[in-house]
Amino acid sequence: NAEYYRAGRDGFIDSMKELEAYYNSEEFAALPSRSFVTGHAAFAYLCRDFGLEQRSVEDVFAEGEPSARQLMELIDYCRENGVSVIFAEEMASPEVSQTLADEVGARVETICTMESAEDGLTYLERMKSNLEKIFDSMK
């Protein structure tokens, strides 16, 4: 069944390249903001690949809550960068994300982490949804 698996692999790679090309377009690069805030630091590779900057309420392991000083730094960052959406995930505390959003006049929106399947979507569908949400938040 080697041909079957090669065809599946090639189709997936083509779909990922198409998605990457769309979001690496001149239009995406021309957005006024390249910054976003998440519940936890889960999007380092995405930031690297698309030239984005992520700040997070919690660290990469989604452990603990930020100190008062860290929360104040995030508030300042959001205000300085015009952040209007705080992205929350299932793995991180939505209460802290909501507190931050309330402080800066932003809204909280759910974003998918790639390692979870809580939404029943495929990897490609989750990636596309995340990119759409992040892109829309930077307009």
29-68 pLDDT, tens digit per residue, is: 778 888 999 887 888 888 888 888 999 887 644 566 778 8
User: How many other C-beta atoms lie within 10 A of the C-beta of residue 132?
Assistant: 11
Q: Quick check: 114 pLDDT over 80?
A: no
Tell me which residue of 76, 57, 77 sits closest to 67, measured CA to CA.
Answer: 57
Instruction: Name the residue with higher pLDDT: 92 or 48.
Output: 48
How much is the pTM?
0.83
Confidence at 137, pLDDT banded by 50, 70, 90: very high
pLDDT at residue number 61? 47
Phi-psi region of 88 (alpha: psi -120 to 50; beta: other; left: phi over 0): beta
